[in-house]
């Protein structure tokens, strides 16, 4: 009976240990926000025509993102390595980022459209 209970305890403890994201890795929700901001900066920098100027502009922007989230480039690189080895988690994050960027693009397009559409004169509105 004691052996049975001991085996049951061992089996339960094995199944109770769910593999999760290690504590020394940026957690998915925060990493998703960091990656979103990085890709927004990448889009901005890609529109700078001179490569040297783009590098000068990009570096402080990336540093600002890392400062905003309280991480450094080494932790970001370590976390990215972890997520590259776990593509299922990375794919979910990028699906969310893609959806988020799409919504932001649509909002910006609507703003641009409204600002370029001439407003009808007041006497025609009445």
For the chain, domain boundaries: 26-110
Burial zone of 31 (CB within 10 Å; 0-12 exposed, 13-18 middle, 19+ buried): buried
State pTM to two decimals: 0.74
- Which tens digits make up the pLDDT trace of 27-81? 999 999 999 999 999 999 999 999 888 889 999 999 999 999 999 999 999 999 9
Q: Write out the H or E segment, with its range, that includes residue 29.
A: helix 28-46
Beta-carbon contacts of 96 under 8 Å, excluding residues fewer than 6 positions away, are 32
What are the Cα distances from residue 84, in Å, to 5, 28, 32, 47, 79?
Answer: 40, 13, 14, 27, 9
């Amino acid at each position: 009976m004691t052996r049975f209970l001991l085996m049951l305890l061992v089996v339960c403890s094995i199944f109770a240990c769910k593999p999760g994201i290690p504590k020394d890795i940026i957690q998915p929700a925060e990493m998703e926000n960091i990656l979103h901001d990085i890709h927004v900066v990448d889009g901005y920098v890609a529109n700078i025509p001179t490569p040297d100027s783009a590098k000068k502009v990009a570096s402080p922007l990336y540093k600002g993102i890392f400062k905003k989230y309280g991480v450094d480039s080494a932790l970001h690189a370590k976390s990215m390595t972890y997520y590259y080895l776990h593509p299922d988690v990375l794919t979910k994050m990028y699906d969310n980022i893609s959806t988020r960027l799409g919504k932001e693009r649509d909002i910006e397009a609507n703003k641009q459209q409204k600002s370029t559409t001439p407003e009808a004169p007041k006497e025609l509105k009445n």
